[in-house]
Amino acid sequence: MAKAPPITNRIRTLREAQGGMSQAALAEAIGVTRQTIIAIELGKYSPSLESAFRISRVFGLGIEDVFGWETPPGG
Amino acid sequence: MSVIETVADMSFREKSAWGMGLVLSAGAFFYFSKVMSLSEALGRTAPPIIGFVIAYVVFIVIASVIVMSVLAGTAGKEANAPADEREKVIADKAGNWSGYVLAVPALGGLWHYSVNLDGNMLFHLIFLSLMLSQISEYVFQIALYRRGA
């Protein structure tokens, strides 16, 4: 099992807050596949800086309002 | 999640990796079953038979066209879209790792030749390493798609 990157996100919560925006709609908006959005939401894949900005702008927020950094134990 | 749901949930590129991996595995099985049965009949390593190689290549080309046409037909516009950033990372990692798979049987073949001077076996091992490398690239891609990235 791959070690999850320490980057957290609130994408799912924000999608639901925006009237239940679908993963497919978000994927279309930032130019990736729906499976990539799923992987990002689950914390299995850390998006590029460009995609992180694109996602944040879809929600009208700053990047740190969507993504966070979880300091690993001992890190 | 059922198998059908799992397949339906895959991206076009993951489905392609499954399709091509299965096609190449079937081709490799076909080729080496012919070579092994001929070797058993001869009582020694079969020489390279160009007819087997041509049959293998023709099978791969035809089966690939059929599989990719079916997948592209059911994928809609996703089939024409370029790979996204995660898919590129997966392709890069899988391609890198498959290079090591290429090296192992190829070096084994060279070592075998240096000891036994069996050029026929060298040919088959080099051909096998090319097949295994390509198959493993798709296997690595599938593993990375399943894992997330």
Q: List pLDDT tens digits, range B33-75.
A: 999 999 999 999 999 999 999 999 999 999 999 999 999 998 8
Complex ipTM, two decimals?
Answer: 0.86
Q: Is residue A39 part of a domain?
A: yes
CATH number assigned to the domain comprising residue A21: 1.10.260
CB contact at 8 A, B31 and B135: no
**How many whole angstroms separate alpha carbon B19 and alpha carbon B13?**
10
Domains of chain B: which residue ranges?
3-147
Tokens at residue B129, please?
């390493």
Q: Is residue A64 part of a domain?
A: no
**How many whole angstroms separate alpha carbon A17 and alpha carbon B39?**
67
Helix ranges (DSSP H) in B43-84: 50-75
Q: Which residues pair with A9 in a beta bridge?
A: A67
Domain boundaries, position A32: 9-59
Q: Is residue A28 part of a domain?
A: yes
Q: Nearest 5 degrees, angle CA A23-CA B147-CA B16?
A: 75
What is the average pLDDT value for chain B, to the nearest integer?
94
Q: Is residue A25 part of a domain?
A: yes
Q: Nearest CA to B145 among B84, B99, B103?
A: B84
Indicate whether B12 pLDDT > 70.
yes
Q: What is the pLDDT along chain A (75 residues), one digit of tens a residue?
A: 556 668 899 999 999 998 899 999 999 999 999 999 999 999 999 999 999 999 999 999 999 999 999 876 665
Hey, of A3, A34, A42, A45, which one would you mutate to test binding to chain B, going by the most B CBs within 10 A of its CB? Answer: A45
Q: Is residue A36 part of a domain?
A: yes
Q: Nearest CA to B120 among B52, B55, B54?
A: B52
Q: What is the mean pLDDT of residues B133-138?
A: 98
CB contact at 8 A, A59 and A50: no
Q: Is residue A23 part of a domain?
A: yes
Q: What is the mean pLDDT of residues B105-123?
A: 95
> How many domains, chain A?
1
Phi-psi region of A31 (alpha: psi -120 to 50; beta: other; left: phi over 0): left
Tokens at residue A75, please?
């890190």
Question: Is beta strand A67-69 parallel, antiparallel or unpaired with respect to A7-9?
Answer: antiparallel
Residue B145 C-alpha, separation from nearest chain A C-alpha, in angstroms? 9
Q: Cβ of B11 and A35 within 8 Å?
A: yes
Q: Of A1, A31, A45, which has the smallest distance from its Cβ to B149's Cβ?
A: A45
Residue A69 phi, psi dihedral angles, 5° rounding: -120, 120
3-state secondary structure of B47: coil
DSSP per-residue codes, A17-74: HTT---HHHHHHHHTS-HHHHHHHHTTSSPPPHHHHHHHHHHTT--HHHHEEE-PPTT
Set of chain A residues whose Cβ sits within 8 Å of the Cβ of B81:
33
Q: Cβ of B87 and A34 within 8 Å?
A: no
Residue A32 C-alpha, separation from nearest chain B C-alpha, in angstroms? 5
3-state secondary structure of B1: coil
pLDDT at A2 (0 to 100): 57
The kind and range of the H/E element at A7 are strand A7-9
